Structure formats: structure tokens, C-alpha cells
Structure 1
Amino acid sequence: MNGYERRKQKKIENIYSVSFQLFFKFGFQKVSVNEIAQKANVSPATIYNYFGTKEQLYTDMLMNWMDKQLEQYENILDSELSFPEKTKEIMLLEAKNLNILSDEFPRSPSSELSGLMQMMEKYNEQKVMHFFNKFVSLGKQAGYIHKDQTEEMTMFYFTMYKNELGRYWEASDQERVTRSMDQLIGLFFYGLVGQVQDQK
């Protein structure tokens, strides 16, 4: 990457950062390209040159944010933590991210961002499923996911659990939720009966 490309990429990252802050604070409709440009110290023409429309900027910004979150998940999965600890960290991050998204999406007009949901579905199919399959494979290797359990049912269970965690996170004191995570992860892996070997 030459000097021009590096400067361009730095500008784009700055625009993403500023637009993320503004969109998620005020919603899509209430933020103008001029406001983003002013706060990002670029001209409105630069934004239109890079993204074409405000809608495209929003979509690209969101995809960029999701890529960064997925990279954090990957880093957790590749870490030296035990599999339950990895699961705990991923679920906490997912609860926080669901909270961010649920705060924003109700304020995003579907008519103006009609292609966004399809893009997110495609993103889920291509990138998230790849990550989740890796998660399941590691869980099976570590003995925390039964070897006969399908990816589909494991994802159903994981999604159900983290969605409820997200709602609990939003409705409760987040520090208290974090303190409860060890118990929640115990329930996730062993259910109400707990670790059977502990009872022998």
C-alpha cells in the first residue's frame, strides 16, 4: 500500500468512526453527510466520492464495524483460554453488541436501507457461520460439545441463549450480569443438573 492509499484508508477509517458515533447516537435520518464531514475534517464531496450516498456509507460503516467485532471473536477463539472461558468472553461481547444494534435498528428506516437486511443475512451466511463452525469444532475437540450434536442445533441453542443474555444485559445492571457469567456459562454447558461428575 503506497502513501496515497494509506492516507485514503486512514480517512475512510476516520469517517467510519465518526459516522458510527453519530448514527448510533442520533439515528440514520437525523444525521447529515455535512455533519459527518465536518466532524471527520473532510469535505462532503470526499464522502460522496468514497461512498456515493449516505445509505451506502451507513451500510459500509456497519459492515466494517461487524468485521471488527468478528475479528475480536476470532482472537478470543484463538487465545489460550479454556473453551468455557472463550465461550464466556464471546457471549459477553455478543450481549454488548446486540445491545448496540437493538438501540440503533429501530431508528433505521427500512425503506431507505432496503438492502441492509439482505446484506446482513449474506454476512451471517458467509462469515458468521464460518466462525461458528470453528467454534463448534473446537468445542467438540475439547469435550464440551457432544460429538454427535449438529452445527444447526448447536447454533440454535447458542443463539437462543445469547439472545436471552442480551435481553438480560439490557434490563439489568450490566456489572451484575458480568458477575453472574460463571453461573450462566455453567448453565449453558451443564444445565440445571450441573456437572454430573461432581455428583459421583
Structure 2
Amino acid sequence: MNGFEKRAQGIKNKIKQTTFAMLQTALDLKGMRIADIAKEARVSQVTIYNYFGSKEALLTEVIKDYAEKSIRDFEAYLNEGHSLKEKIEHILSLEKASYKELPPGLIKEMMEENRELDRFFREQYQEKTLPLTMRIVQEGKESGEISEKVSAEQVMALMQLYMNQYELVLGMAAQSEDREGFLEGIVHMFFYGICGKP
């Protein structure tokens, strides 16, 4: 990469970082304007259009980068030899962090309005997320951390139930006097039920 390409990549990265930071506090996508992104990133609007072509294309690239990095980081974590419980706790903590980093309603809005992004997330789920989750379950079965009475499909179903309602669970935790204790209790119930013991 020559000097010009390095400078160009630096500008592009700055625009994407600025856009991601603005997404974290955005109330809706329509309120985000190229003019505001350009001002915040200290570049011209023309520069943004030259690099990305449109606001939609910029937002798509920013969200794709975020998702791909999250998956890479998660896969690296799985390769560190953690227990099943640690892996599940890590998944839940990642969900909690992602809700803080990007409002879930905003991602949903983007997916509804952007077919490319919707297709991207569906592909990522099928090609990356689902196989990684199956790997966790399979390793848990092999290590004896998941009961032999429970099938991989049943574990996946339970995890999906939790993930589908995690936004609601986080909202309930936020209203609790002991937010962290509330979430720890949810993790405990995931592994041991309401009557089980660790």
C-alpha cells in the first residue's frame, strides 16, 4: 500500500468510526445526515460520497464491519479453551454489550429498510453464528458439561428462547435494584433451572 492508499484508507476509517459513534446515540436513521457525519469527521460531504456512494452504503459497511469483527473476536474466544459455562456467560455478556453499543431498534430498522444488510445477517447466522453455536453445544456434550439426556437441538432451542427475549430481560434487569445479580440469576437458571444446584 503506497502513501496515497494509506491516507485514503485512513480517511475512510475515520468516516466509518465517526459514523459508528453517531449510530450509538442515534434515535433514528432518518435523523442521521451525510452533512452531520462529514462535519463530525471533519471531511467534506463529497469525500463521503466518493468513498461510499450513499448514506445507505456507508451504514451498511459500518454495520458489516462491526458484525464481522464481533464474530472474529468470538471465535478467538472459543479457541482459548473455556468451559461451557464460561462460553455461555460470555455470549450473554456480548449480547449485553451489543445492546449498549448499538440500540437494537436501530439495527432492526436498518435491516427492514436495507435488503443487503438483511441478507448479510441471515448469511452470517447460517454460515458463522449457527456453526459456532453448534460447536459450543457439541464440545459441551463431549466434555460431559451438557447432560446426555439433553439433545443438541434442545440446547439450541433453549439458547434461542433466551436470545429472542434478551432485550426484554435486559429491560427487567435495568429496573432491578441489583442489575448484575439479576443477570447472574438468569445465567444460573439457564444452567440449573429454578430448583437445581450448581
TM-score (norm 1): 0.79
- CA distance in structure 2 between the partners assigned to 1:144 and 1:182 by the alignment: 19
1:9 counterpart letter in structure 2: Q
Which letter does structure 2 place at the counterpart of 1:160? L
Relative distance call for 1:194 and 1:124 in structure 2 (3 A) is same
**Which residue in the other structure is 1:190 paired with?**
192
Distance 1:17 1:91, change over 3 A: same
| Aligned match of 2:65 | 64
Gaps of 5+ in 2: none
Q: Which residue of 2 aligns with 1:180?
A: 182
CA-CA distance at 1:55 after TM superposition: 0.7
1:6-21 alignment, distance < 5 Å: 6-21=6-21
- Return the offset for 1:191: 1.6
> What residue identity is the alignment partner of 1:79?
E
Which consecutive unaligned segments of at least 5 residues does structure 1 have? none
Quote the sequence identity (%).
26
Equivalenced residue count is: 194
CA distance in 2 between counterparts of 1:96 and 1:7 reads 32
Q: Corresponding residue for 2:50? A: 49
Partner of 2:142: 141
Please state how far the C-alpha of 1:3 moved relative to its aligned partner.
4.2
Query: Do the aligned partners of residues 58 and 191 (structure 1) sit closer, same or farther apart at CA in structure 2, a change above 3 Å counting?
Result: same
Normalising by structure 2, report the TM-score: 0.80
Q: What amino acid sits opposite 1:102 in the alignment?
A: P
Task: Summarize deviations over 1:54-95 as a string: whole Å, max 9, x none.
Answer: 111111111111122223322432335432122112212113
Q: Give SS of 1:34's match.
A: helix
Q: CA deviation at 1:106?
A: 5.7
The residue that corresponds to 2:88 in the other structure is 87
CA distance 1:177–1:162, shift in 2 (3 Å) = farther
